[in-house]
Amino acid sequence: MIIVKSIYGFSREKLEKYFLSIGSKKYHALQLFDWLYVKRIKDYSEITNIKKEVIEKISSEYSISPLKIVEVQRDKDVYKYLFELYDGEHIEAVLMMHDYGKSICVSSQVGCNMGCKFCESGRRKKVRNLETYEMVLQILMVEEDIKSRISHVVVMGIGEPFDNYDNLVDFFKIINDQKGINIGSRHITVSTCGIIPKIEEFSNLDMQINLAISLHAPNNKLRDELMPINKVYPLDKLIPCLKEYVKKTNRRLTFEYIMLKDINDREEDAKELVKLVRGINCYINLIPYNETNNIGYKRTNTVQIMRFYDILKKNNINVTIRREFGGNISAACGQLRSKKEEV
């Protein structure tokens, strides 16, 4: 397989090392970042302040090509982008216009191995991790399309981000760099199904990035059924790990909880959930389920969602109900796919 290396895969730190490794100057990293992320050049020939030989060397090794946007579906304030990658694989990203700014949900893998039963994205096994540049370019290309800046990033598209940890961290560094895409770390959120060793590693990362946990069940029995990862990292290990994470980082966690009719939405589930998260600095995000043709789960009705919400509220748990986005174009949570023919 052709390995495509892209200039958009370098954090500034790594770019500085690269320039030194080719016998050039470290400060070129800052200059190049300015060309790539501030001036947004399309071709190396536009660079005027780095020697021609150095540019020739870089361009012989690293591509500056964008991703190919195959399709954009627009539904009011939600745009869904289908990208084609260098090897013909496809991924999706979703842009949402909020009152507080523009937020993008990016993918981190082609397919996903976690097999969550309610998730369309996980129906296709992982084909490969996305390279750092493939995550960075999702943002750059959407910004170019809308001719405006994106203020918030969530890594909740196709894939389990912590199963692609090293590329993810470089991605964070590039988008958070003030000389890069410059998105504040508190405006970046990563969501995991609960891979404990990576949560521990993430707690040592010196960046204030938000962590969301896909919880979706208040006990091991149900979570085992919905999310196979729970058999590897069950709640009795995950919850103490998360308590430790909050203690260490002093950051508030988000728990994502998809509401599935008659599965995890009963009053006793709400009460059990209260007990599970009691004492953790967190809030729970209740997500109305988006039904798909391929998966049998049904959506909890609004009255039941409100009942569930009230139980959490009365027990002093911070809780929100996610505003619904993109259901008409299958751009909502858990509906993204990585295969073009299925889109």
Shorter beta-carbon distance to ligand SF4: residue 121 or 300: 121
Phi, psi values for residue 133, rounded to 5° = -65, -30
Question: What's the rounded Cα separation, in Å, for the pair 192 and 187?
Answer: 17
Residue 112 binding ligand SF4, by CB under 6 A: yes
Shorter beta-carbon distance to ligand SF4: residue 218 or 334: 334
Shorter beta-carbon distance to ligand SF4: residue 294 or 316: 294
Residue 195: CB atoms within 10 Å? 21
The interface mask with ligand SF4, positions 151-180, x = CB under 6 A, is -------xxx--------------------
3-state helix/strand/coil string of 295-343: ECCCECCHHHHHHHHHHHHHCCCEEEECCCCCHHHCCCCCCCCCCHHHC
Among all residues, whose Cβ is closest to ligand SF4?
122
Q: Which of 132, 164, 176, 214 binds ligand SF4 (CB under 6 A)?
A: 214
Residue 209 binding ligand SF4, by CB under 6 A: no
Question: What's the rounded Cα separation, in Å, for the pair 80 and 142?
Answer: 10
Of the candidates 277, 287, 276, the one whose C-alpha atom is nearest the C-alpha of residue 327 is 287
Helix (H) or strand (E) holding 143: helix 132-146
Dihedral sign from CA coordinates of 69, 70, 75, 76 = positive
CB 281 within 8 A of CB 246: yes
| Min separation Cβ 259 and ligand SF4, Å | 15
105 included as an active-site residue: no
Q: What is the DSSP letter of 180?
A: T
134 included as an active-site residue: no
Per DSSP, the residues of 283-296 read: EEEEEE---BTTB-
| Min separation Cβ 295 and ligand SF4, Å | 11
Query: How many residues bind to ligand SF4 according to rule CB under 6 A?
Result: 13
| Min separation Cβ 53 and ligand SF4, Å | 44
The interface mask with ligand SF4, positions 277-316, x = CB under 6 A, is ----------------------------------------
Residue 193 binding ligand SF4, by CB under 6 A: yes
Residue 116 binding ligand SF4, by CB under 6 A: yes
Of the candidates 117, 335, 332, 334, the one whose C-alpha atom is nearest the C-alpha of residue 223 is 117
Q: Which of 58, 64, 114, 195 binds ligand SF4 (CB under 6 A)?
A: 114
Shorter beta-carbon distance to ligand SF4: residue 9 or 122: 122
Q: Which stretch binds ligand SF4 (CB under 6 A): 119-127, 133-141, 268-276, 316-324?
A: 119-127
Q: For residue 191, with 0-12 CB atoms within 10 Å meaning exposed, 13-18 middle and 19 or more buried, which class applies? A: buried
Choosing from 112, 116, 282, 333, which is the catalytic residue?
Answer: 333
Helix (H) or strand (E) holding 245: helix 235-249
Question: What's the rounded Cα separation, in Å, for the pair 25 and 218?
Answer: 55
Shorter beta-carbon distance to ligand SF4: residue 112 or 253: 112
Shorter beta-carbon distance to ligand SF4: residue 9 or 159: 159
Catalytic residue positions?
A: 92, 333
Residues that bind ligand SF4 (CB under 6 A): 112, 114-116, 119, 121-122, 158-160, 193, 214, 334
